Amino acid sequence: MKLLTCFVCSLFVLSMYTAQSQTNYDESMVPSFEIPDPLLTFNGEKIKSVKEWEKIRRPELLQFFENNVYGKIPKSLKIDSYTILEQDDNALNGKAKRKQVELTFKNNGKTLRYTILIYLPKNNVKNPVFLGYNFYGNHTITEDKAVIISSAWANNNESFGIENNTLTEESRGKRTHRWAVDKILDAGYGLATIYYGEVDPDRNDFSDGVHSLLYQKSQNQPKPAEWGSIAAWSWGMARALDYFEKDHDIDASKVISFGHSRLGKTSLWAGATDQRFAGVISNNSGCGGATLSKRKFGETLAVINERFPHWFCDNFNQYGNNEEALPIDQHQLLSLIAPRPLYVASAEGDQWADPRGEFLSAHYATQVYNLYGKKGIETMEMPKVNEPIHNTVSYHIRTGKHDVTDYDWDNYIKWANVFVK
């Protein structure tokens, strides 16, 4: 049995090695393909007005992404109750208000709980807020000792001191560089974050997380068109927004969804499915996020679906090594966010996420913004590194690797000041 497992493991590693060694990083090898037109319906009708976009095209595109990419949420599940677990009006050396709010959901005899960590400027007004998930627990984004450590399942990570899938004190503050808490507060925004593993643990196991609360009798995994983990995480962001509507310190009409990498894919899907998000940020979201799948540059659909079979719905598998068959591409996901402000950011050292594909995607989504009289990425010429383009649709590529940096936050804040605040 051990031998067999070993054999299966080696096959997997070998296939991953082959897939990754076949990765294309050569622009001249990008296949030629037609960009699916956001303003042409699946029946070939040209969309000429905002009204037609909102009545005909937007719904059919959204439905396609729901049924074939991220998966549908089987039914609605509302907050059962919320509890302020902890609150301090003099947090971060007197600089901020801090709240830790637990949301509880109940269905099918099961309970799901997750905690939102919120920092707010110390004032008496309703504040705009950046909302985004973190990868290793709320306590990793700050040195603040009061932040509660989640007991949810986590991926092991030696450098974070995570063993036995359990988060510990050792990782407190390990990810402060990704969360510019001071800058955000100084600019007059709140920051809210959630450990994504509390909503759905990031593993190919659908017995846990929010999915299990919505199964029908004897169902134990989502149907082919039903939600994967990205849709589950997006759902969690929307429920946090439900809570914000009740919180007197937060301006729920000015909540910006933010996310990095897989959580950037999540941020985009949250913004597309819930139009209450006032702005959306995709930080290095790459394949299945902002970048164009049909370019097959860097990570491809076959590779992402093999490595992370739980992120998308099962229907999405049919497009692995078969991108030509896709009647849509990811710029149309971006177009679903129109006319709300959208920021797509890439990093020079993150070729796996295909920066050029992310840029072009923002460009091709722009025609829907233009329909609303808004400016986006009008040019097809990629800007130089560290030379951002700021419009309702914004874009930058910065120096450095796959990460979130102060440079990113400086730009998100500048853009939000003009287009969201």
Catalytic residue ranges: 261, 402
CB of 174 to ligand GTR, least distance (A): 15
With tokens 């020079």, the residue in question is 348
Nearest approach, Cβ of residue 260 and ligand GTR (Å): 7
For ligand GTR, the closer CB: 172 or 262: 262
Q: How far is the CB of 251 from ligand GTR (least distance, A)?
A: 29
Q: Two tokens at 410? A: 């400086």
CB of 254 to ligand GTR, least distance (A): 27
Question: Do 174 and 139 contact (CB within 8 A), yes or no?
Answer: no
| Single-letter amino acid code for the residue at 411 | N
Q: Which residues of 228-247 are buried (b: 16+ CB within 10 A; e: fewer)?
A: bbbbbbbbbbbbbbebbeeb
Instruction: Fill in the per-residue mask, 304 to 343: x = in contact with ligand GTR (CB under 6 A), - = not in contact.
Output: x---------------------------------------
3 state SS of 362:
helix
Q: What order do you get walking across the sheet with 342-347 strand by strand?
A: 81-90, 96-107, 110-121, 190-195, 127-134, 250-260, 279-283, 342-347, 393-398
Residues 398-417 that bind ligand GTR (CB under 6 A): none
**Kind and range of the H or E run holding 133:** strand 127-134
User: Is residue 175 close enough to count as binding ligand GTR by CB under 6 A?
Assistant: no
Q: With respect to ligand GTR, which residue has the nearer C-beta, 262 or 294?
A: 262
User: Smaller CB distance to ligand GTR: residue 98 or 262?
Assistant: 262
Q: Which is nearer to ligand GTR, 375 or 402 (CB)?
A: 402
Min dist CB 311 to ligand GTR, Å, is: 8
Nearest approach, Cβ of 256 to ligand GTR (angstroms)? 20
Residue 286 interacting with ligand GTR (CB under 6 A): yes
With 0-12 / 13-18 / 19 or more C-beta atoms within 10 angstroms meaning exposed / middle / buried, residue 168 is middle
Does 287 engage in binding with ligand GTR (CB under 6 A)? yes
User: Residue 316 carries which DSSP code?
Assistant: G
Which of 304, 298, 421 shows the shortest CA–CA distance to 356? 298
Toward ligand GTR, which CB reaches closer, 270 or 287?
287
Helices and strands, counts by H and E, the chain: 12, 9
Q: Min. distance of Cβ 354 from ligand GTR in angstroms?
A: 10
Among 261, 291, 300, 315, binds ligand GTR (CB under 6 A): 261
144, 200, 247, 299: which one binds ligand GTR (CB under 6 A): 299
Q: For the purposes of burial, counting CB atoms within 10 Å of the CB of 276, is it exposed (0-12), middle (13-18) or buried (19 or more)?
A: middle
Distance separating alpha carbons of residues 257 and 274, to the nearest angstrom: 10
Q: Which is nearer to ligand GTR, 57 or 310 (CB)?
A: 310
For residues 60 to 79, the per-residue mask of contacts with ligand GTR, x marking binding by CB under 6 A and - elsewhere, is --------------------
Q: How many chain residues touch ligand GTR (CB under 6 A)?
A: 6
Return the number of the residue (214 or 303) whose C-beta is nearest ligand GTR.
303
- Beta strands 250-260 and 393-398 are unpaired
Which secondary-structure segment (H or E) carries 119? strand 110-121
**Which residues would be at the binding site for ligand GTR (CB under 6 A)?**
261-262, 286-287, 299, 304
